[in-house]
Structure 1
């Protein structure tokens, strides 16, 4: 897969540009908690950022499908860098919360959707190749690698350098990485998308596909895991007087994601992706339900590793299902709906977790990942029939793609 022509020209700048995404929420939480003394206030500001991203990400993906990725990225990274720096300055000047909210909205709305854009470029390069499943797993591993490095970097900068250093670095990396990625014009999808036969396809909304709506609920639950753990781990490590362990514990969780993501790409799956999603998500809900009972660093690290190992299969399988559910001309939008769902779930989770930690402490924020995943699992079980993929271009990692001669009702 990595020998695909032109792959490295978008992979390297894409990795640099997506790294800040893993730093943003935690950098905001650490900065605002430092200036206000409240995890609740920090969680709400981070939540406003996440909700703004969730609302605007699909629109950004639709614009990228219709007008090209470069046209969306160039103004987006400029707005994001400027608004992120404005949010930093306001927080350091002890501005009222409503001003922080006002700066958080454009900060979240302008987050560049690099991950979905990279996935769309793989679709152009690989088409119906069996390597598309491997590419989906590879992208999940790349995402999780950023979630290993991002929290570690954000925590180190905010605790060892300055509380504002994390958010300032995030803005700078977004600007530089985003501009470099936008400069790779030869690998971006054609405006309008490329169909299964390399022909232009008609614009459709990804949200009209029932399976995408089910996956949005699934990814909302995944977002609740990310957000709930970010706030709750920060509160836990501070309560034991070791705030520097926050990045380490979150890094262990993300390392679990990365390890299982590698396994997902290496295994030649014979089980249908719908069934893999059901099994994997059930395991995620079960492991996430045990977090609130952990009261030691070692136990929490072990449980976090298991939770992380259950997250990646769900993400990989969800993105793999998009390839079969959604026409090519709407896939960037579909990917951004899922990315936005993670951000929205994360935003809700940091808000609720922050309030629970402020009021009750003792790891109460860990109840949020349990609740989010259990609710999402219930939706998945009830609506799993809507995840039946379109008959054309269906592939299995390291297998052979099969085309059905006719659509079957």
Structure 2
């Protein structure tokens, strides 16, 4: 059983942000994170406008998500081996060109297969800035009490991105032009990504240097070869199904009631709940171990997501969306916390990108399926996708929860949100 301890005082966010060099990579990194939050909804809104079909929009958006999921771990592996700058610069340029091509094809009325083909490199080249920022924090703060604060701060930043990104994309697409969301996404990626790549002084060690610096002297291992990482990836697939299913279904619901602008408001409420829960997670000194926090948080997420399809009013859907958002942050934060205890330092960026890729893959599948359901049976049926995704992921998480414990027993690691978590085997 997991033990509990008296929590230590957790250093605050102010002290974290005073870490030398932190702001130099945090500010451009925030801009460069926007593709993950803006790309899918931007594609859905543009392609649905040009084709009139949520199913077609879902297929194109799914192509970006699947290609991102397939290439993101490889991007992380290359960053661990050759350095973040070597991966980011060409990736940012390819992504900007690919999104521009996709916009041009959509506006010219190109066939669906052409949009699908253009979406593949757009997704494959999404810069994995979030995992790279986490790797920079880990390189600076590993083994210090500030590392747990950094984990909370990064999750809050992710949630804030999901508040700003979809709302901004929706406002641009509905208020200015259907392509404005993707154009803004490509611009932020280019500027933010290049500025982030230029911060070489905070880039973590890579290649043989990182392997030699690993505390345990372990040889490099692929992150996905570790059973616990695979379990967490399945859990994050379920989280992705919530993001994707809600993006499409909320858009379809807003169209059904004749108020397209409500989409941004409803998704913003959902994402705001996510962000608020992330802030709270960073403020609480937890007595419960991270594995239990993950399981309990996921149970709450599954229950809330399973009720979405029953709701048919804006007020109730907003309230329930808020609850779903409040339940996602604990699962995301704790998942990233646990993965740090499972992988050696030389595989960290790869491990973070594996989890990010799992969210993208779950989101891609959900967008495609929810789009088909919304076209055929109405917006409410699209909400069945988050229910199915979280139920399947929860069953897997419960069945394989023992794999989430580090292989070494009796070790104490500064990994929890706000305390040191003693590592113990059931």
Specify if TM > 0.5: yes
8 Å CA contact 1:195–1:328 kept in 2: the answer is: no
1:124 corresponding residue in structure 2: 139
1:89 corresponding residue in structure 2: 104
Return the alpha-carbon distance in structure 2 between the equivalents of residues 82 and 376 of structure 1.
35
1:246 corresponding residue in structure 2: 263
Match of 1:305 among 302, 308, 322: 322
2:5 corresponding residue in structure 1: none
2:75 corresponding residue in structure 1: 60
Q: Following superposition of structure 1 onto structure 2, how do residues 8-407 of structure 1 map, counting pairs within 5 Å?
A: 8-192=23-207, 193=210, 202-391=219-408, 392=411, 394-395=413-414, 396-400=416-420
Q: Aligned in 2, Cα 1:48/1:363: closer, same or farther, shift over 3 Å?
A: same
Q: Offset at 1:266? A: 0.8
Greater alpha carbon shift after TM alignment, 51-60 vs 19-28: 19-28
Return the alpha-carbon distance in structure 2 between the equivalents of residues 259 and 389 of structure 1.
29
8 Å CA contact 1:23–1:154 kept in 2: the answer is: yes
SS at 1:21 equivalent: helix
Q: State the Cα deviation string for residues 351-408 of structure 1 (Å, max 9, x = none).
A: 0000000000041100000000000000001000000124445123343576x8xx98
Return the alpha-carbon distance in structure 1 between the equivalents of residues 61 and 214 of structure 2.
43
* RMSD, aligned CA: 1.7
Q: Offset at 1:20? A: 2.8
Greater alpha carbon shift after TM alignment, 277-286 vs 125-134: 125-134
8 Å CA contact 2:151–2:417 kept in 1: the answer is: no
Q: Offset at 1:197? A: 6.0
Where structure 1 has 5 or more consecutive residues not aligned to the other structure, the ranges are: none
SS at 1:363 equivalent: helix
Return the alpha-carbon distance in structure 2 between the equivalents of residues 99 and 254 of structure 1.
32
Q: Offset at 1:135? A: 1.3
Q: State the Cα deviation string for residues 65-110 of structure 1 (Å, max 9, x = none).
A: 0000000000000000000000000001111111111100000000
Return the alpha-carbon distance in structure 1 between the equivalents of residues 404 and 46 of structure 2.
41
Figure out how many residues of one structure are paired with residues of the other and give that number.
406
Return the alpha-carbon distance in structure 2 between the equivalents of residues 48 and 317 of structure 1.
29
8 Å CA contact 2:92–2:193 kept in 1: the answer is: yes
Q: State the Cα deviation string for residues 149-193 of structure 1 (Å, max 9, x = none).
A: 111111111111111111111111100000000000000111133
Q: Offset at 1:203? A: 2.0
2:6 corresponding residue in structure 1: none
Q: Aligned in 2, Cα 1:276/1:124: closer, same or farther, shift over 3 Å?
A: same
2:22 corresponding residue in structure 1: 7
Q: Offset at 1:202? A: 2.9
Return the alpha-carbon distance in structure 2 between the equivalents of residues 189 and 202 of structure 1.
18
Q: State the Cα deviation string for residues 307-338 of structure 1 (Å, max 9, x = none).
A: 00000000000000011011111010010000
SS at 2:17 equivalent: coil
8 Å CA contact 2:241–2:362 kept in 1: the answer is: yes
